[in-house]
Amino acid sequence: MATVMNVNHFSIYLKRNMECTVILPSDIKNDEKLPVLWLYHGGSGDNTVWLYHSPIAEYVDEGRFAAVLPNVQNSCFVNMNIGDKYESYVGKELFNIIMNMFPCLSDKRENNYVSGFSNGGYGCLHIALKYPEKYGTVGAFSAGDKADSEFLNDGSVKSIRRIELYGDGDLHKTEYGITYQADRLIEQKSVKPEIYHACGELDPWIDMNHILRDYFMSHIEYNYVYDEIEQIGHEWKFWREELKRFLVFKGLINKYKKEIGMREVNVSIITDNIKEMCIEANHFLTDDMKNVFENAVKNEESALGKQVLGQLEENLKVAGEDMIPICQDTGMAVVFINVGQDV
């Protein structure tokens, strides 16, 4: 069984105590040098989110590599325009701290992989392109270039936050721009990270991912792979699957090892599926219920009845478009699970 530990340390760049999670496989040999996966969280997560939503500990034990999960709050892993230097902390300082604390880890760039989702997907690209001498491969999931994000300086909370992180104006010619950093490595003829990039077909920011995809596909200087999964969006179901695909792609886990004669179900899969079912049930009607409702609207004769049904129809439309629960009678959720043999 893998060992999961929280590591508290002082950051000189951030001038305060910081915390990260380190996962190590069992029975490490004295002279072993483990590959390292640096795994980044999204905008609302922290250093524990991958533990709760993926079998990363099992992967570490199976593949005999280490995983390091930093916590950089909602900084997008950059040196903020107004704020802290999280890029310098996570890209340089934390790398050195972890290597000094754990001699069993390999510091060779070809053995260091950096991956993440959403803001962490952008962050891992940003870090690997800024420090290509440290990180050999990137696994970026749901990761667009922040320079391609529409910005309106209208005084809103969103615009203020954007200025705090990146400043005002166009980011394409700044270090916050992914393609800017990628172009610079080409011009400098520097070593470049291998890039595995993935996005769900239904991701609301898929256009930004496609812009980035088209850039790297048109620059043969980069070893670049793109993966897109149909009928899935900006969600954990996608990020879990892409983490597995990325680890298989790099040979860190064997995709066949647990598929033959295996009957294992991670509890997070059950939890997430039930959650998604409950959310769907509270925002959308099934087709048979829709048909009954539509027939009722057509056949109702009284003015008051039509008014009430009209309000319910509007409520249903708002629920689906704005993801506000349908106003119905409350009740208890009952879940039926069929457990197969030897699960």
Separation in Å, CA 261 to CA 62, 151, 258: 16, 52, 8
Query: What is the mean pLDDT of the segment spanning 120-132?
Result: 97
**Using 50, 70 and 90 to split pLDDT, how confident is the model at 341?**
very low
Q: What does DSSP say about strands 66-69 and 16-24: parallel, antiparallel, or unpaired?
A: antiparallel
**Using 50, 70 and 90 to split pLDDT, how confident is the model at 200?**
very high
> Sign of dihedral through CA atoms 231, 237, 242, 245?
negative
Higher pLDDT, 319 or 194: 194
pLDDT at 262 (0 to 100): 39
pLDDT at 342 (0 to 100): 45
pLDDT at residue 255 tops 70: no
User: What is the distance in angstroms between the CA of the first residue and the CA of the last residue of the chain?
Assistant: 19
**Using 50, 70 and 90 to split pLDDT, how confident is the model at 322?**
low
C-alpha 7, offset from chain centre: 22
pLDDT at residue 343 tops 60: no
pLDDT at residue 313 tops 80: no
pTM here?
A: 0.74
DSSP 82: S
pLDDT at 222 (0 to 100): 97
DSSP 109: G
**Using 50, 70 and 90 to split pLDDT, how confident is the model at 258?**
very low
Query: What is the mean pLDDT of the segment spanning 307-329?
Result: 74
pLDDT at residue 335 tops 80: no
pLDDT at 240 (0 to 100): 97
**Using 50, 70 and 90 to split pLDDT, how confident is the model at 152?**
confident
Percentage of the chain surpassing pLDDT 90?
Answer: 69
Query: Inter-axis angle of helices 303-322 and 267-283, to 10 degrees?
Result: 150
Query: What is the mean pLDDT of the segment spanning 287-313?
Result: 80
**Using 50, 70 and 90 to split pLDDT, how confident is the model at 44?**
confident
Percentage of the chain surpassing pLDDT 70?
Answer: 90
